[in-house]
């Protein structure tokens, strides 16, 4: 059974209350439950982790090698600043999908630059919590399962 690690970066623990006009009212716990049900229905296992600390995210990416077949990463603001996360994804050689709740291209110009996209198989943004389910399906398809 294929396994996907879903990683969430800084401030995503505040979903549901943080800028609901941008990020919606769905909590991270709601998203995790949605992802677990969606993945199970598609014969996938998932790991789910959130950290506000760049090093913890890097450690999780390193630990994914040999345990997971792909990574879905909502790196939050680290998307635009972390060469270290980009390097970690390259180092483990697992397919990764960059994910954002909001459409980063319709926001401030600094959010238009992504270090993660350079090493990702694709980017999903702007679909809110539904983007996580789209990313699961996209990763399943990329790994050779039906989309």
Q: Are 89 and 61 spatial neighbours (Cβ–Cβ below 8 Å)?
A: yes
Q: What is the pLDDT of residue 108?
A: 67
Q: What percent of the chain has pLDDT over 70?
A: 95
Q: What is the pLDDT of residue 107?
A: 67
- Average pLDDT rounded to a whole number, residues 35-50: 98
Q: What is the pLDDT of residue 21?
A: 76
Taking the C-alpha atoms of residue 12 and residue 74, their distance in angstroms, rounded to an integer, is 9
Q: What is the pLDDT of residue 112?
A: 62
Encode pLDDT of 79-137 as tens digits: 988 999 999 999 999 999 999 998 887 666 766 679 999 999 999 999 999 999 999 99
Name the CATH superfamily for 3-142: Dehydroquinase, class II (3.40.50.9100)
Taking the C-alpha atoms of residue 104 and residue 20, their distance in angstroms, rounded to an integer, is 15
Report domain extents, the chain.
3-142
Higher pLDDT, 76 or 18: 76
Please provide the DSSP assignment of 78-134 as one string: GGGT-HHHHHHHHHHT--EEEEESS-GGGS-GGGG--SGGGG-SEEEESSTTHHHHH
Would you name the residues annotated as active-site residues?
A: 23, 100
Is the pLDDT score of 147 beyond 90? Answer: no
| Summary mean pLDDT of the chain | 92
Q: What is the pLDDT of residue 111?
A: 62
- Strand, coil or helix: 55: helix
For residue 97, give every residue at least 6 positions away whose Cβ sits within 8 Å of its Cβ, in sequence order, or none: 70, 71, 72, 73, 120, 121, 122, 123, 124, 135, 138, 139, 142
Taking the C-alpha atoms of residue 145 and residue 137, their distance in angstroms, rounded to an integer, is 9
Q: What is the pLDDT of residue 104?
A: 80
14, 8, 103, 15 alpha-carbon torsion, rounded to 10°: -20
């Amino acid at each position: 059974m294929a396994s996907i690690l879903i990683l969430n970066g800084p401030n995503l623990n505040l979903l549901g209350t943080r800028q609901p006009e941008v990020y919606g009212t769905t909590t991270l716990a709601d998203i995790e439950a949605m992802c677990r049900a969606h993945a199970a229905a598609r014969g996938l296992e998932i790991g789910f982790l959130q950290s506000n600390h760049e090093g913890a995210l890097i450690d999780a990416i390193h630990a994914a090698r040999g345990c997971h077949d792909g990574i879905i990463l909502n790196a939050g603001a680290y998307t635009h600043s972390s060469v270290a996360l980009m390097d970690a994804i390259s180092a483990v050689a697992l397919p990764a999908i960059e994910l954002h709740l909001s459409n980063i291209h319709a926001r401030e110009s600094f959010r238009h630059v992504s270090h993660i996209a350079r090493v990702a198989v694709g980017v999903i943004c702007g679909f809110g919590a539904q983007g996580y389910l789209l990313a699961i399906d996209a990763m399943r398809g990329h790994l050779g399962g039906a989309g």
